């Protein structure tokens, strides 16, 4: 008589099934714990943002910017950062549904003078924003530098949004670029946001920045007022902090202009965003003026067209 084949439900088979069930349970448990941790983190972040809103709410209506903005910056040994807390006119339902989409971020980033191109790439590793940065004038892509931002919606709930853009490398040995936006509903139908922008630099990057600050940008200033210990007088911040404050403001105004343009007909939104961004920066011309409106509009129209076709 031929031997009967053993079933997987014999004792050795049952052991294997129990082991597989245990491993599956552990994996499901780990995934559940990860989701719980993400939820807890989002709740904590939302609570912290709401606390900051409660602290700043009254002061935001009376600022030197003629906008509900609070700005600060910091400079370390090899890094610099700027941040803005502000109220946007758009309700959170609108702002949240726009600022959690990578393609919209590309259009926002393009408003900045130095950004020449941006396209999202969706792959197995996640979403990457391929951003090309260059001079403040018209420039071919081949003559500019590409920075690849990993794009993540870190948290999204009914009353909180957090988006992060991170790039490990940039031009001239700059590194660790971080753009972060948090948003939550404000009491009056507006949206309270926290926007931060930071990067680090190596020796080459620091030397290049110092050369820029000592020549072309030697008269450039930021927005914060600091004490000049040598003469005991208050003066606008300059140097690296001044530079990061200028760019932080440019990015914030890009978010504001892009959201504000949504009220216009679809065909004219981009043009409105361009014009509104330029007008907003000219309100702070001492810090932000670089080119005339005609030059800016012509350059951005070409760059947007190039961004749609990816032609060099």
* pLDDT 10s digits, 134-180: 999 999 999 999 999 999 999 999 999 999 999 999 988 899 999 99
Sequence-separated (6 or more) residues with CB below 8 Å from residue 139 = 116
Task: Tell the CATH superfamily of the 61-309 domain.
Answer: START domain (3.30.530.20)
pLDDT of residue 34: 42
pLDDT of residue 8: 46
Contact 167, 179 (CB under 8 A): no
pTM recorded for the entire structure: 0.84
C-alpha–C-alpha distance, residues 172 and 160, integer Å: 36
Query: Is residue 63 over pLDDT 70?
Result: yes
What percentage of the chain has pLDDT greater than the value 90? 69
Q: Is 288 left (phi over 0), alpha (psi -120 to 50) or beta?
A: alpha
- b/e sequence 1-18, b meaning 16+ C-beta within 10 Å: eeeeeeeeeeeeeeeeee
pLDDT of residue 203: 73
Sequence-separated (6 or more) residues with CB below 8 Å from residue 251 = 108, 109, 112, 179, 195, 197
C-alpha–C-alpha distance, residues 96 and 178, integer Å: 20
pLDDT of residue 228: 65
> What is the CB neighbour count within 10 angstroms for residue 191?
22
Sequence-separated (6 or more) residues with CB below 8 Å from residue 244 = 73, 75, 80, 81, 82, 197, 198, 222
> What is the CB neighbour count within 10 angstroms for residue 77?
6
Greatest pairwise CA separation for the chain in angstroms: 107
C-alpha–C-alpha distance, residues 70 and 8, integer Å: 67
C-alpha–C-alpha distance, residues 201 and 81, integer Å: 12
* pLDDT 10s digits, 220-257: 999 999 876 666 678 889 889 999 999 999 999 999 99
* pLDDT 10s digits, 248-300: 999 999 999 999 999 999 999 999 999 999 999 999 999 999 999 999 999 99
Residue with tokens 């800016």: 296
Phi first, then psi: what are they for 220, rounded to 5°?
-75, 145
């Amino acid at each position: 008589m031929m031997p009967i084949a053993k079933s997987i439900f014999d004792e050795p088979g049952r052991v294997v099934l129990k082991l597989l069930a245990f491993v599956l349970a552990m994996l499901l448990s780990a995934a559940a714990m990860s989701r719980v941790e993400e939820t807890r983190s989002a709740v904590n972040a939302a609570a912290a943002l709401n606390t900051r809103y409660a602290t700043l709410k009254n002061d935001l209506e009376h600022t030197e910017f003629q906008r509900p903005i609070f700005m600060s910056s910091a400079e370390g040994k090899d890094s610099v950062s700027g941040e803005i807390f502000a109220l946007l006119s758009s309700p959170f339902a609108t702002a949240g549904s726009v600022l959690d989409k990578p393609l919209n971020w590309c259009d926002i980033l393009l408003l900045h003078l130095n950004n020449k191109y941006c396209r999202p790439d969706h792959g197995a590793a996640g979403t990457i924003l391929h951003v090309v940065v260059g001079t403040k004038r018209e420039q071919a892509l081949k003559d500019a530098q590409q920075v690849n931002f990993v794009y993540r919606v870190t948290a999204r709930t009914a009353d909180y949004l957090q988006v992060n853009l991170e790039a490990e490398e940039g031009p001239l040995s700059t590194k660790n670029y971080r753009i972060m936006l948090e948003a939550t509903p404000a009491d009056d139908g507006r949206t309270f946001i926290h926007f931060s922008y930071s990067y680090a630099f190596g020796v080459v990057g620091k030397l290049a920045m110092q050369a820029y600050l000592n020549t072309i940008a030697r008269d450039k200033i930021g927005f914060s007022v600091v004490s000049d210990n040598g003469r005991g007088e208050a003066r606008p911040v300059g140097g690296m902090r001044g530079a990061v404050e200028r760019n932080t403001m440019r990015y914030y105004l890009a978010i504001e202009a892009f959201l504000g343009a949504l009220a216009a007909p679809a065909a004219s939104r981009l043009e409105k965003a361009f014009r509104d961004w330029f007008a907003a920066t000219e309100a702070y011309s001492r810090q932000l003026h670089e080119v005339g409106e005609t030059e800016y509009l012509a350059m951005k129209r070409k760059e947007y067209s190039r961004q749609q076709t990816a032609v060099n």
